[in-house]
């Protein structure tokens, strides 16, 4: 298929571009390159901002795309609490521009990068797809808004979509050639790895919460497993599957302390754990029920926490300054 990937020069997007190419798809990336990296993808990049409605219309009408994978979004929870307007404008208005341009260009399928943040505080664990949606931060709320818009566009216009609710994406390509590179890194595993490498001091930023060891618990899914979920979702839409939403997680929760311990085991470095400023808007515990995506799309994760950390270590050890090293 001829696929447009928005935000395809970013972390998850670039791994998914690689997966799409391996499966024989023709891929073009749309990215404004504020957060993404041109070096991350070996395909054409249309440089455009989704909040520029006319630029998006021109980009989508420039060739006959058959599907869109939509990753482009702001995604830092703490920043979203401080700057909600920025998140609603970028993530929601930008997505509406994209959907309208898809209708104009008659592109029938969308796979949407959503998040487990749509659930908010867990009322029961593991989280199933029908768990109540009550986001605790504007980032999660913006994604839930787009999911509801997608349902309306599916019903009214026949634009079918699959929303994938990621849990915590982590890790890097097995061969160490592609990985995570954020200018202001907010994710636990890369920050811990960079602490082990001595690139920067590691600061613990989770709040004290009511869990067995007092640190937040999350479900970590390898970025390549996550990329595969997108290609399976695309295949399902092409074969006639109705619009739907799926969790993408391994079904096991690990505490922040357990993740730090795993990084220290893999690296062999007992780095210092400093205390940073706790981040607002973070639920205490969250992990996935992933039976639905396994049953309906045939997806299954191939990586556990140890192998996720090992691939992240391999990437950062070879690229301690990201794509600039």
Q: Which of 135, 54, 148, 45 is nearest to 92 (CA)?
A: 148
Cβ-based neighbours of 249, under 8 Å, separated by 6 or more: 116, 166, 167, 168, 219, 221, 287, 288, 290
CB 254 within 8 A of CB 286: no
Three-state SS for 110?
strand
CB 92 within 8 A of CB 143: no
From the candidates 139, 153, 246, 254, which is the catalytic residue?
A: 139
Cβ-based neighbours of 280, under 8 Å, separated by 6 or more: 77, 78, 81, 137
Q: Please report the DSSP string for 196-215 in residue order.
A: HHTSS-EEE-PPP-SSTTSS
> Is 220 among the residues known to form the active site?
no
Distance, in Å, from the CA atom of 256 to the CA atom of 100, rounded to the nearest integer, reads 40
Longest Cα separation, the chain = 56
| Number of CB atoms found within 10 A of residue 267's CB | 20
Q: List, in sequence order, every residue forming a beta bridge with 168; answer none if it has no partner.
A: 220
Catalytic residues: 139
């Amino acid at each position: 298929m001829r696929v447009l990937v928005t935000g395809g020069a970013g972390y998850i997007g670039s791994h998914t571009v690689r997966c799409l190419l391996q499966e024989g798809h023709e891929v073009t990336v749309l990215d404004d390159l504020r957060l993404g990296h041109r070096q991350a993808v070996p395909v054409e990049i249309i440089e455009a901002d989704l909040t520029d409605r006319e630029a998006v219309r021109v980009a989508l009408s420039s060739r006959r795309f058959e599907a869109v994978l939509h990753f482009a979004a702001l995604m830092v929870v703490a920043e979203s609490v401080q700057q909600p307007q920025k998140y609603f404008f970028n993530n929601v208005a930008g997505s509406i521009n994209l959907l309208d341009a898809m209708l104009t260009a008659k592109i029938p399928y969308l796979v949407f990068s959503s998040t487990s943040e749509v659930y908010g505080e867990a009322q029961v664990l593991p989280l199933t797809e029908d768990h109540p949606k009550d986001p605790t931060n504007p980032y999660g709320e913006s994604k839930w808004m787009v999911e509801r818009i997608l349902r309306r566009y599916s019903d009214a216009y026949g634009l079918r979509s699959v929303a994938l609710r990621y849990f915590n994406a982590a890790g890097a390509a097995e061969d160490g050639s592609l990985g995570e590179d954020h200018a202001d890194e907010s994710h636990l595993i890369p920050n811990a790895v960079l602490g082990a490498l001595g690139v920067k001091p590691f600061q613990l930023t989770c709040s004290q919460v009511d869990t067995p060891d007092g640190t937040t618990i999350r479900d970590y899914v390898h970025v390549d497993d996550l990329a595969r979920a997108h290609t399976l979702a695309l295949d399902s839409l092409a074969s006639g599957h109705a619009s739907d939403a799926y969790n993408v997680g391994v079904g096991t929760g690990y505490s922040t302390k357990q993740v730090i311990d795993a990084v220290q085991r893999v690296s062999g470095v007992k780095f210092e754990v400093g205390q940073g400023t706790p981040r607002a808007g973070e639920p205490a515990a969250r992990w996935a029920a992933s039976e639905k995506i396994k049953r309906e799309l045939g997806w299954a994760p191939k990586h556990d926490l140890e192998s996720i950390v090992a691939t992240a270590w391999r990437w950062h050890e070879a690229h301690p300054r990201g794509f600039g090293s």
